[in-house]
């Protein structure tokens, strides 16, 4: 099965479509190619016009919902890569991802939240989905999002 | 008009000079060239010896002041690039910027603050100012700064 | 004295060993090589199974302990580089490091904490340890760590 077929399968399993416009929240560009690297802007769990996972993990929202937020963020990033490249088969590596989790004071499971995104990278991209990661507890995020995720990809 | 002339014009419009020493706050270097990439250290809105925008956005300071903070940060980054390269004309792209905004608990306009910096990149660098962006609400920042901004540039 | 000898000397001075397994906290990889760049995942001050510096700087822990946390993080990152490369002599530059410091509301010495790591980079790597830096006050960090540090290295 191709990366693109696995992407569609995981989108269906999540119950969200990433076919529409991938809206961004300000005066910047969603992704930039620089040689064989692509930088993807910070993604929040927005589907269409709605940020579907909001609030602080461990307070307004729980670990399961926060993981869903991380999954939506990484699917958005992959959707942007897919559109730009024509196919996710062209992604050769994900050198790094950064995951910011809006956190309650005593919520320390930022890594467990980020695993939601990491697992999808492995499932969809296979060995090319291996990545380094930095997970941080943020005090707030744009539009009260629970998670924000940025990544860098290497392409052929 | 050259990028350098536009830089001077925007500095005058802000009412701050970026001609003096660009002080840094610790034991590191302001920028490093790595092949045709330049990494610029996190900048806070310091002019001379004074951090001119401090406190949490949405509490100690408002959106307009926080945007000014983001503008000063990006002007400092551009001033460092200009000195290192001789001219901002040599900047070919800004693959990514990161903007941390010291935020009150319910302040969710980190993107609107970061737009202050993004708009200056476009105004001064033109198409070379296009960039990906990650905006995050921080709990605190060095020296109680309201904003901290880092960036990567690609040069010829 | 070689970088590797200086690394061992600094580890002894800190009183910690970095010879054992460098555990990571989730479903990702500790470091990825991408051409002549290596990305190292966010490190927390874990030695063996224990996170040895926890809590918010300026509240649960003081500046000296937080600096120790930053030192352990950077030693872990260097240990990972050393194992991957065979020797730290092969590190040519550290284009950037990011330091997140779990901070009390009014703790503004994130740069002073990060200096703990920066000083070790210079001591151990010499001129190759020069780096750009971004230091941010985080609300929480994985496993209640006081510090998290990620870096990029350039190798021959």
C-beta atoms of C41 and A132 within 8 A = yes
Inter-chain contacts counted by CB atoms under 8 A, chains A and B: 87
The mean pLDDT of B127-132, rounded to a whole number, is 97
* CATH code assigned to C3-155: 3.30.1330.40
Helix axis angle, A63-85 to A3-14, nearest 10° = 150
Q: Is the pLDDT assigned to residue C20 strictly greater than 90?
A: no
The mean pLDDT of B89-108, rounded to a whole number, is 98
Nearest to A135 among C34, C42, C136 (CB): C42
pLDDT tier at C50 (50, 70, 90 boundaries)?
very high
Work out whether strand B37-43 and strand B46-47 pair parallel, antiparallel, or are unpaired: unpaired
Q: Which residue of C has its CA nearest to B145?
A: C108
* B14 to chain C, closest Cα gap in Å: 25
C-beta atoms of B139 and C103 within 8 A = yes
Question: Which residue has tokens 């997970």?
Answer: A135
Nearest to B137 among A32, A37, A141 (CB): A141
pLDDT tier at A156 (50, 70, 90 boundaries)?
confident
Global ipTM: 0.96
Q: Are C136 and B110 in contact (CB under 8 A)?
A: no
Question: Which of B90, B20, B107 is CA-nearest to residue B55?
Answer: B107
How far is the C-alpha of A46 from the C-alpha of A79, rounded, in Å? Answer: 13
How high is the pLDDT of residue B26? Answer: 85
**What are the domain boundaries of chain C?**
3-155
| Chain B residues with beta carbon closer than 8 angstroms to that of C106 | 140
Please give the model's pTM, rounded to 2 decimal places.
0.97
List pLDDT tens digits, range C57-110: 999 999 999 999 999 999 999 999 999 999 999 999 999 999 999 999 999 999
Question: Which of B75, B10, B156 is CA-nearest to residue B1?
Answer: B10
Question: Which of C74, C63, C78 is CA-nearest to residue C5?
Answer: C78
How high is the pLDDT of residue C154? Answer: 98
Torsion of CA C78, C3, C98, A38, to 10 degrees: -80
| Chain A residues with beta carbon closer than 8 angstroms to that of B109 | 142
């Amino acid at each position: 099965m191709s990366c693109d077929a696995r992407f569609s399968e995981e989108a269906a399993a999540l119950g969200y479509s990433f076919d529409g416009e991938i809206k961004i929240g300000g005066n910047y560009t969603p992704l930039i190619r620089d040689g064989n690297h692509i930088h993807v802007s910070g993604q929040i769990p927005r589907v269409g016009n709605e940020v579907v996972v909001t609030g602080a993990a461990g307070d307004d929202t729980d670990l399961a919902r926060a993981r869903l937020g991380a999954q939506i963020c990484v699917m958005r990033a992959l959707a942007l890569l897919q559109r730009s490249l024509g196919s996710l088969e062209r992604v050769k590596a994900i050198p790094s991802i950064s995951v910011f989790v809006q956190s309650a004071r005593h919520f320390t499971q930022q890594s467990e939240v980020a695993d939601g995104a990491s697992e999808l990278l492995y499932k969809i991209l296979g060995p090319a989905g291996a990545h380094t990661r930095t997970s941080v507890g943020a005090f707030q995020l744009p539009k009260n999002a629970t998670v924000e995720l940025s990544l860098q990809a290497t392409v052929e």
